[in-house]
Structure 1
Amino acid sequence: MSQTHYLWNPSPVYSLPVKGVDARFPVKRIFCVGRNYHAHAVEMGRPVDKSTMAPFYFLKDASTLVESGATVPYPTGTSNYHYEMELVVAIGKAGFRVAEADADSLIYGYAAGLDMTRRDLQLVAREQGRPWDLGKNFENSAVCTEIIPAAGGAVLDKGAINLQVNGETRQSADLSMLIWNIREIIADLSKFYHLEPGDLIYTGTPEGVGAVKSGDRITGHIDGVGDVALTIGAAE
């Protein structure tokens, strides 16, 4: 059998550690839910009416993944670099057009994550009706802890979620405040994509997002999931 030759080395497999398991979780895609806490939607100037609106999504490349505890450079092209603390759902089973009642069968586990954002670029794109890629999908923008396996695909429907910058609390809410809960997100997303093992879903951030600068340390916690940490280094 002939061997395939590439012009350069293919991209590595991006992955995350799994608590209590030697093997790592290979990441396929990173889906993010936009404006999934009412108070955050209001602070962004885009209130959400669940009775008339559907969830919306954006993607980050797997190459944007950073493990918790890292130091990342302050990104180029922005002067308004924001944190967003989020519960991350790790998918462990394929599914398409999944019913809400069956959504938990796709869940492998959970993690705590940061959706780092070049807010100024995102807002310019939003106001001009353009894609959010420059504001959201950039190097080192998807921070994530190890995956915590979910016994029997248990669904998290409550639990504190909070974030601190240099020890000062900036975000504090509860998972019960999600506009679209985990089952609803999985069911809806699976209408548009064949979900696959290795997919991550960042489920949205509470109110209190804000800017950080070089030298700042971000820490966050989700009850029953774990703690995430990130240090902002100097600009490149």
Structure 2
Amino acid sequence: MFQKIIAFFFFTIFSFQIALAQEVQPQFSPQVQKAKNQIQLTFNTLFQSNDTNKNTKVDPALKQLLLQNNEEKIKEYLDQQQNLFLKQINRYIKQGDPSASLALLEFALFSQDSELKEQVDLRPIQKLSNQNDAYASYLLAQYYSNTERYIPLLEKAGQQGSAAAQMTLADEYGFRLPVEQQDTQKAEFWANKAKQNLGEAAYTEQKCALANCDLEEFEMVDFSKITQQ
């Protein structure tokens, strides 16, 4: 059972690990950011190695369970933390916090939970997208599996300044889309946009980042629609 837990988190980390340092940063309310920080701390603690800096922040409860190597209690604790996070986020959504809806969709995509994904009210996120929120547009693109809706939203995010969207579009038009939809000029256009946004060196670094993942620190941001491949 514990191996399945590890396999699940290992896969989701590779799907959402890449957080561009120069990426347009989403603006979450303080209460939502606090909830996100806690669940992030739990995930980071799960994958810390033995030689991690002693000053690195950890989830003390999970750290103790990991030291005890109690698989059943570890799974129970992870479930509790996830449920607590979702409870908090849903409460903030009811209070009218649009960034909570954004966090819920982010988590649904991160955890690849199709049932949770279908429960997300997209209207607050669509409103943020229409207010020039690049991250909202990017997550909306990830919500859809059909190219007809996915690509326009991804292009919207790219035009709004999302380097992740720009890099993804370069790959989509370069080789991911069906051959008849691939477009060399568009691929080059979006690659150049990303290079202008990030700088040549940072662009190259991010393109290579999947081969150099640091499993001790990651963000719940999808780099390139890996979950839909």
Say yes or no: TM over 0.5. no
- TM interval, shorter chain, is under 0.3
Richer in helix (by share) = 2
TM-score with structure 1 setting the length: 0.23
Larger strand percent: 1
